[in-house]
Amino acid sequence: MLNGIGAPGIILLVILALLLFGPNKLPELGRAVGRTFREFKEGTRDMIANSEPEVKSEAPAPAAQKAPVSLEKRLPE
């Protein structure tokens, strides 16, 4: 994400943030952004965890309906 900005761009962003928010407000702002990212990650993990049991709960196909190994089509490698 920051690869295209470079060092001068990052320095400019820090100076701009200091001017806009002041040095006393920046730590509070950083904590709020960190909390927001943490909550987003936890919500994403919860959504993924809730969707996995649905996939695992599918019943496997009966053995009688499966084709013999020699007749299965294989994808080219």
At 16-55, the pLDDT tens digits run 988 998 888 888 988 998 999 999 999 999 988 887 655 4
Q: From the centroid of its chain, how far is CA 40?
A: 9
User: Looking at the whole model, is its pTM more than 0.85?
Assistant: no
Q: Enter the tokens of residue 52.
A: 């996995």
| DSSP state string for the chain | --TTTHHHHHHHHHHHHHHHH-TTTHHHHHHHHHHHHHHHHHHHHHHHHHHHHHHHTSPPPPGGGSPPGGGS-----
Where do the domains of the chain lie?
23-52
